[in-house]
Structure 1
Amino acid sequence: SLAGSALVVVSVLRFRELSKRFFAIRLITCLAITDGFASIFNILGAFVDPTIAYSNADERSEAVFTLSLCRVQAVGVLYFNLASILWTSCFAFTLYRDMIQSYTRGALRKYEIYFHLICWPIPAMLTGMTFALGYLGDAGPFCALGPAYAPQYL
């Protein structure tokens, strides 16, 4: 997923004229950016051992560092996955509206600012509330929404 996201972003940077002409390419670029960062935070999970943070470790500083890294991973995974879902929804909306014959193609560009206003701050607010309520942390082999808070996830 990280390689695919990087390929999309590099292609858009290489062929800038296409992203200026085609609105859908800009949406795919935003989706690729969110998926790329979600992949980075998922890869970060390979370096975080949540069992150290929640055990009686001899090294207290290592436990604090691991707990902090666990929370960073949980916030990053949650935020970028939520943003990815919203960007996918916006892209689907754009494809649907593009297929309607009575709707002009250029009129879809006016939605771009609304898509940005939906897809960046809403996941930030949801992730911030989840973090502030203390729902993020050890979820078994990785860091995310803790298993004790599974009902809140739904």
Structure 2
Amino acid sequence: MENKGISQPSNDSSRCIFFNANSDDYRCVVILTVKRATATFSLIGCLFMLFVVWLLRKYHSLAQKMILSLTVAAFFDSIAYVMGEDHSPGALCNFQAWWLTYFDWSALAWVCLITLNLYLNLVKEMRTDHYEIPYHVLAWGVPLLMSSLPLFGGYYGPAGPWCWITDAHVAWRFGIWYVPLFTLIFLMICCYARIICVANERMQSWFGTFNPERERRKVSLAEEIKPLKWYPSVYLLVSLFPLINRLHNAFYPHDPVFSLTLLHVLSAPLHGLANAFVFGLDRDTWSQLSLTGIQLALHSRLCDRTQIREYHPGAVRYMPADEAGFSDSDEDTNVLFFSPDMTLKDRGP
């Protein structure tokens, strides 16, 4: 959501409102072009993630469903950044601002809940399958509250390359988004630090006679905790430049810096997408996205219609092999393909 206005709006449609310059000023052209390119890239990336989830059937466990929900939130968040250019005050501008705030918050909520779920699973050793509905209530309900407060207060309006909370209500920008954002990022860093410590302690505590299954679990746990440090880091990196730019706008509202604004529009649309990639594309998923793995998965998805049905026996007539037309020279034409990239499919009745 973020990040959004850079100077007081103007009623002159030929003006570049976030630099108080002509609309053909090179700075305005660059900012709007970069904004469109970044938002479009984010949108395409989210579509790719949704395709991977569908292709590899990664929507069965609670963790997979949460990553799917995060990707959906990131997808709709990207649409908000693609919406139009400079909106004049009105219903459409307010709608874009509300949409942007809602799905920015929704993506953040899912990242926090994924972190909480991992903490409960690994540190507290709790099963969390029954938390699915409460997770959805929090992830879609809290953003509704946070995005509606500025709407009812009339604080939305033109705010630079997109609509958001106007320059006249800087306190609301920080209260609604930036203060909660960096508070939650700090809590996630603490949470992942605790998760990594607990995982390392458990790996070092496994002593005794050699046990292949225990060693396999030890190696698996070591691989799983390696990327944990990247989860909050990604959100921190894509939030840093918008925060710096917003702080500068708060102190110097009529003197925007082109470089900060450029870095702002480069990183702002990438919140949800970056986390969807980090959470969703683990080592196992990447290994299945080889050419062979994709071909097998597509064949399984689109062509395989094998079903197990109940067998009803009927009359059977036996005859000699030569009469039936079989001989020892007949070759077996059935070929069984195996690939480490292939994911087995559950077959229902």
TM-score (norm 2): 0.36
2:172 is the counterpart of 1:133: no
Q: 1:19 pairs with 52, 55, 59, which one?
A: 59
What residue ranges of structure 1 are gaps of 5+ in the alignment?
Answer: 55-66
Q: Aligned residue for 2:25?
A: none
SS of equivalent to 2:164: strand
Shift of 1:77: 0.5
Give the distance between the partners of 1:9 and 1:94, measured in 2 at CA. 21
Shift of 1:141: 2.8
Contact residue 135 and residue 149 of structure 1 kept, 8 A: yes
Query: 1:1-154 alignment to 2 at 5 Å?
Result: 1-16=42-57, 18-20=58-60, 22-44=61-83, 47-50=84-87, 53=88, 67-100=90-123, 103-104=125-126, 107-153=127-173, 154=175
One-letter code aligned to 2:52: S
Aligned length: 133
SS of equivalent to 1:120: helix
Give the distance between the partners of 2:129 and 2:77, measured in 1 at CA. 26
Contact residue 86 and residue 158 of structure 2 kept, 8 A: no
SS of equivalent to 2:157: strand
One-letter code aligned to 2:122: M
One-letter code aligned to 2:46: S
Give the distance between the partners of 1:137 and 1:83, measured in 2 at CA. 21
What residue ranges of structure 2 are gaps of 5+ in the alignment?
Answer: 1-41, 176-349
Give the distance between the partners of 1:8 and 1:25, measured in 2 at CA. 12
Give the distance between the partners of 1:134 and 1:48, measured in 2 at CA. 21
Shift of 1:97: 2.0
Give the distance between the partners of 1:92 and 1:121, measured in 2 at CA. 18
Q: Aligned residue for 1:63?
A: none
Give the distance between the partners of 1:139 and 1:49, measured in 2 at CA. 8
One-letter code aligned to 1:25: Q
Shift of 1:88: 0.5
Q: Aligned residue for 1:62?
A: none
Give the distance between the partners of 2:70 and 2:167, measured in 1 at CA. 28
Which has the higher Rg, Structure 1 or Structure 2? 2
Please give the root-mean-square deviation of Cα atoms over the aligned residues, in Å.
1.6
SS of equivalent to 2:161: coil
Give the distance between the partners of 1:12 and 1:141, measured in 2 at CA. 32
Give the distance between the partners of 2:161 and 2:77, measured in 1 at CA. 17
Q: Aligned residue for 2:201?
A: none
- The C-alpha deviation readout for 1:72-104, integer Å capped at 9, x for no partner, is 21111000001111111001111222222x514
Give the distance between the partners of 1:120 and 1:113, measured in 2 at CA. 11
Give the distance between the partners of 2:172 and 2:96, measured in 1 at CA. 19
Identity %: 26
TM-score (norm 1): 0.78
SS of equivalent to 1:144: strand
